[in-house]
Structure 1
Amino acid sequence: MSDWFARRARLAAQLPAGAVAVLATAPERRRNGDSDYPYRHDSSFYYLCGFPEPEAVLVIVAGQRPRSLLFCREKNAEREIWDGFRYGPEAAQTAFGVDEAYPIDDLDVHLAELLADAPALYLPLARDAALDARARGWLDSVRAQARKGVQAPAVLGDLTPLVEEMRLIKDAGELATMEQAGRISAQAHARAMRAVRPGMPEYALEAELLYEFRRHGAQAPAYPSIVAGGANACVLHYVANNALLRDGDLVLIDAGCELDGYASDITRTFPVNGRFSPAQRDLYELVLAAQAAAIATIAPGRRVAEVHEAALRVLTQGMLDLGLITHLVSLEQALEQRLYLPFYMHGTSHWLGMDVHDCGNYKDVHHSERPSRLLETGMVLTVEPGIYVRAAEGVPREFWNTGIRIEDDAAVTAHGARLLSAGAPKTVREIEDLMQHD
């Protein structure tokens, strides 16, 4: 509760005195018939109050002593028989540390009152069409009182960048949750390495991951799991997971759990039969070296773009050495001409947090030339170089249909990177020893 209170206070301190900020949680989504998708809250809403139910709105009134109001569903004994527990306003006020709590049906009346003579209204602009439309109704209600001397807010501000910059820097509690999510996901990857057999369908290996996530308390996968054998690993967002895993192929697994609202994101690539071929080993060691170079750049004061640049240099030199790039050029020329693109076409890092591709700018918004932003203690980012070799004329045949990615989650500390996903086997020896001993 103290974290939510402190976050709301920090947000209020960035707003003009008397300004009103409004943030709604995510709605329930219909899957089909009378069935909904499993409910998942809005990340920024949850970050500020921790309330897990749908049909809820958080209101913050800025000032020397800021106020927070929560609007949520009322207690309903009949609906709780069908759908489960509801906090209701009274219990929610105590449980989530808000100053006031009211039924969600009272939202419009209270907002019209709160916005009377308020200097500004802050919303996540153009993110929630229903909330945007509702806000227009509140403002119309206030404007209708103009002849009585009541003023509507003169400023309509965007709440999103303020909350997202807060979310980018994780506190100790957030980092602890993310590290536990990383441990669970690492165990799931190790389980998959032990379970894989030639002839197994990809989805059976996916089931091993899901079992491990859930049995350790994670609520869900943080994103659709990728289990890609052979040539499927050359498809970056492959999620069909319905092919058979073949003897002699590699399998790439990109999967992580969500624990208490926070994501993990790990990728490992390993041989279906437990042994890397010489060509597979060459490519794998190249990607592993690129990841090590990228991780070594992570420290406060370094630019986030340096992480990608470090990985890219190692990968491109390896492509030249292995004959994937056949042009007679230097490393600098290969980088300038982007000759690596057929084999490495994505970035090396993204922010990680409540969302798997978490919020926060990658550019320095305070610099006129908008360079890559500086890393700060408390940021968490992925480090995920890869190499993807499709069957193509001029490409050495021994590398065909091979996709390799190695991804870990790195927290920025005063001393460099601390890997939250270090428990997942990663070196060739670690992987082969685990797979041969099981």
Structure 2
Amino acid sequence: MAPDTLTYSSSPRPPAIGLDEYRRRRQALMAALPASSAVLMPAATLVTRSNDSEYTFRQDSDFHYLCGFPEPDALLLLLPGREEGEAILFCPDKDPTQEAWTGIRVGAEAAVERYGVDQAFANSERDERLAGLLDGRHSLYLPLGDDCAMALADEARQQLLARARQGARAPQALVDVAPLIHEQRLIKSDAELELMRHAARISARAHVRAMRSARPGLAEYQLQAELEHEFQWHGARAPAYSTIVGGGANACVLHYIENAAILDDSDLVLIDAGAEFELYAGDITRTFPVNGRFSDTQRSVYEIVLSAQIRAVEAVRPGVTLGEIHRGVVRDLTHGLIELGLLEGELDARIDDESYRRFYLHSTSHWLGLDVHDVGGARRDGEPRQLEPGMVLTVEPGLYIPADDDIPATLRGIGIRIEDDVAVTATGHEVLTTDVPKRVEEIEALMVDS
């Protein structure tokens, strides 16, 4: 199906995050630090795919959140209270010979104006300058699991310790900066929400295209191609995660990404796919019949999942916890499993003994943002975190019925998941992914009309 560019023209590209917002993020982080601290945050680096070929570069999410600088091997240094400027960027050198092969680099001079940092230096100056900039800072905040950050911090500390008799003072404490940044990232700004709405719209269009394209005899990877073509056509240069297209029993494998099987006329196909736009993720799952018509058995299982999903979406509002939403889903799905004859006995007993977990293995929600499984804890101060306006989460119940001998033949190998992206608002919630149908009648009408 050719992309519908006339329809898409009514959905303009949202503005990028502004420099003022990046400054506010850095200021908020520095305000959370104790006195005489510094932050050292490295960018992502290029990763070799094979021989001298690299994977497509994707910036580190935390680094991007603080400055938006798009190049590899950069370094952001925050020095609260420094009179000459608190935000210092080290970035790749301008090198016309190298740029002829790999593209134009921003360079230190342009980085100040284009990315709103106070000072910028070429990476060739980093080893000379870094230790001096950290001199006198008591605590150094950095991503403790990052080898590059740790190596830079260690080298700078060793240089300062060697100059201790001349009055140099090395940082005494290395502290993980990730929890502070991740707490900030959990609440999305208006600008972030606009980017996420756009990622969701593109993702929804791709799912609609896959529904319209599906037919018996296609390979799963051919539907993957339809999805990812739609992503790129509308400016989402990559999927937010590995696309899942699972026909038949493959849908029961939660992170199935082989996408190599042929779609059968009698199968359902589960697609879990989302576009990444300006590094913000969309994440949608839909399950639909390859031939465009649900069988009675497929519909009975699908309606159980759909009912649980709709109820869970409606539960999203400030003050609710992810655990409360999940427990409601577990109750609805377990009741459905008893109705199907896959579980026996009293509802509460089957919830208590967790026998439902044979068919529902995962949690109902995760945070969404710059990462598809976005950062931010589900607990705060030891208690379950309550939802707040600006949080974005997925709601994705599912049922996965194995093809085991004790399962009725008509139910074996049915896997169904339905997932939407939901933003918490002051009065309730906003579903970002309404542009792709999920009710049986809507899906069948779409597929028959195509």
TM-score, structure 2 as length reference? 0.94
1:236 aligns with 2:248: no
User: Which amino acid is 1:208 matched to?
Assistant: E
SS at 2:317 equivalent: coil
Corresponding residue of 2:361? 345
User: Quick one: distance in 2 between partners of 1:300 and 1:50?
Assistant: 30
Give percent identity, aligned residues only: 50
> In 1, are the aligned partners of 2:422 and 2:431 still within 8 Å (CA)?
yes
Corresponding residue of 2:4? none
Give the CA deviation at 1:146: 1.8
Corresponding residue of 1:319? 337
4+ residue segments displaced more than 4 Å: none
Give the CA deviation at 1:53: 0.5
Give the CA deviation at 1:18: 3.2
User: Quick one: distance in 1 between partners of 2:246 and 2:195?
Assistant: 28
Corresponding residue of 1:432? 444
Corresponding residue of 1:422? 434
User: Which amino acid is 1:216 matched to?
Assistant: H
1:306 aligns with 2:324: yes
1:389 aligns with 2:405: no
User: Quick one: distance in 2 between partners of 1:21 and 1:166?
Assistant: 15
Give the CA deviation at 1:82: 1.1
Alignment map for 1:156-175 (pairs within 5 Å): 156-175=174-193
User: Quick one: distance in 1 between partners of 2:356 and 2:35?
Assistant: 52
Give the CA deviation at 1:311: 0.9
The total of aligned residue pairs comes to 431
Picking from 280, 285, 294, the partner of 1:262 is: 280
1:74 aligns with 2:86: no
Question: What whole-Å deviation, never above 9, does each CA across 1:78-107 have from its counterpart, x for those lacking one?
Answer: 222111121000111110000000001222
Corresponding residue of 2:75? 57
User: Quick one: distance in 1 between partners of 2:384 and 2:308?
Assistant: 20
1:90 aligns with 2:106: no
Corresponding residue of 1:280? 298
User: Which amino acid is 2:103 matched to?
Assistant: G
User: Quick one: distance in 2 between partners of 1:142 and 1:104?
Assistant: 20
User: Quick one: distance in 1 between partners of 2:152 and 2:43?
Assistant: 14
Give the CA deviation at 1:150: 2.6
Corresponding residue of 2:5? none
Corresponding residue of 1:250? 268
SS at 2:120 equivalent: strand
Picking from 344, 348, 356, the partner of 2:372 is: 356
Corresponding residue of 1:110? 129
> In 2, are the aligned partners of 1:17 and 1:64 still within 8 Å (CA)?
no
Picking from 39, 58, 80, the partner of 1:40 is: 58
Question: What whole-Å deviation, never above 9, does each CA across 1:37-93 have from its counterpart, x for those lacking one?
Answer: 000010000010001000100000112876100100121212221111210001111
Picking from 381, 389, 392, the partner of 1:377 is: 389
User: Quick one: distance in 2 between partners of 1:280 and 1:59?
Assistant: 55
Corresponding residue of 1:221? 239
Q: Which runs of 5+ in 2 are unaligned?
A: 1-18
SS at 2:355 equivalent: coil
User: Which amino acid is 1:222 matched to?
Assistant: A
TM-score, structure 1 as length reference? 0.96
> In 2, are the aligned partners of 1:16 and 1:119 still within 8 Å (CA)?
no
Q: Which runs of 5+ in 1 are unaligned?
A: none
Give the CA deviation at 1:210: 0.7
> In 2, are the aligned partners of 1:223 and 1:356 still within 8 Å (CA)?
yes
